[in-house]
Amino acid sequence: MCRSKRAMHALLLLAVLSKPLIQQSAPTQNTVSAAPSDVDTVDHLMAALYDVISGAIGQKHNWDRMRSLFAPDAPMSAVVITRSGVLREVHFSCDQYIERSGPFIEKTGFFEREISRKTESWAHITHVFSTYESRYKPEDKKPFERGINSIQLFNDGKRWWIRSIMWEGETATQKLPGKYTR
């Protein structure tokens, strides 16, 4: 196929696909309203995210608050190494995270806090590289895990939305670089 025909096909494909993709990617009305003070700034959104997943043994979490931070179709994923040593990305929705992790963190206690943040923003999008430490109790001397949350945010002109989160924990062979811990 000649160069101009390939370009024409690429443009046609882009034109056909772009409208549905744009409609699908914009956050739709969330069924759970967010507290305005949780979503008015990136700092407040990040504080609300860490606050809502943290709590003492037996403490019920406000999962509707967590849902209110996320765009309804926002994906979550964790990069993990399986017991057999295979590196995988595990995908789930906010509701699946709540369903799978909620009972465990309410049973064992779970406190995650941000220890460092690198933020890049332009116009209505922001990317946050948020280094975290996880403990069962806030007074635990050492965290049982450290890692990085890679979070994409979108501001629709009224509020901030979490559009996606991917995280990976530190391992014995893959330590967090100093630039992400200060």
CATH number belonging to domain 36-180: 3.10.450.50
* Residue 28 pLDDT level (bands cut at 50, 70, 90): very low
> Which pTM was predicted?
0.82
Query: In terms of Cα–Cα distance, which of 151, 143, 152, 138 is closest to 170?
Result: 143
Using CA atoms, how far apart are residues 150 and 76, in angstroms rounded to an integer? 10
Using CA atoms, how far apart are residues 146 and 75, in angstroms rounded to an integer? 21
At 128-177, the pLDDT tens digits run 999 999 999 999 999 999 999 999 999 999 999 999 999 999 999 999 99
